Amino acid sequence: MFGNKKDKRVRNHRGRFAVNQTNITMRYLLSIITILTLAFSSSVLAQDKVEITIEGNDKMQFNLNEIKVEAGQTVVLTLKHVGKLPKAAMGHNWVLLTQGTEINKFGAAASKFAGNDYIPEDTDQVIAHTELVGGGQQTTIEFKAPEKGTYDFICSFPGHYAMMKGKFIVE
């Protein structure tokens, strides 16, 4: 068998078959590349979706006044009402407004739509919104982050938008 032109094995000085270091090195490098590729792929996939939890309380406050995301990301936003008061007295929602929307005008218009969780019907000023929740409740929505820019978010329950607001920054 040894000496055959098809046989690529090489004998060392002791007459034993030598280990081909090039093959071992290549296998090692391929293993490392595969591991790094898988690790990088899962971190890139993780960046495609961002999960955010924002809390509203009985003092008409959100716990966050700024949220940062990347353009095009899938945003999974959970609104938790950490207070105790019922929805009729102290309901909260989370509303992401288009750029240029005047908060006071929007809030005044929203107050007329109690049956629609204080979201005006047929409006083009809302990018995304949650349902209205009362004390101890929570709700989750999923949406695509808009293009780069700074947007306002509010609670549109009557009177709340003056205090319950913040910036949604898309980078």
pLDDT digits (tens, 9 = 90+) for 112-124: 999 999 999 999 9
What is the predicted pLDDT for the residue at 47?
72
25 plus 41 within the same structural domain: yes
Over residues 77-131, the pLDDT tens digits come to 999 999 999 999 999 999 999 999 999 999 999 999 999 999 999 999 999 999 9
Give the length of the chain.
Answer: 171
67 plus 135 within the same structural domain: yes
36 plus 65 within the same structural domain: no
Would you place residue 28 in the very low, low, confident or very high pLDDT band (cuts 50, 70, 90)?
Answer: low
- CATH number of the domain that residue 53 is part of: 2.60.40.420
Would you place residue 14 in the very low, low, confident or very high pLDDT band (cuts 50, 70, 90)?
Answer: low
Helix, strand, coil percentages (3-state) for the chain, rounded to 5, are 25, 30, 45
Task: State the CB neighbour count (10 A cutoff) for residue 169.
Answer: 14
Percent of the chain whose pLDDT exceeds 90: 73
What is the predicted pLDDT for the residue at 108?
97
pTM: 0.74
What is the span of the domain harbouring residue 1?
A: 1-47
Count of domains observed in the chain: 2
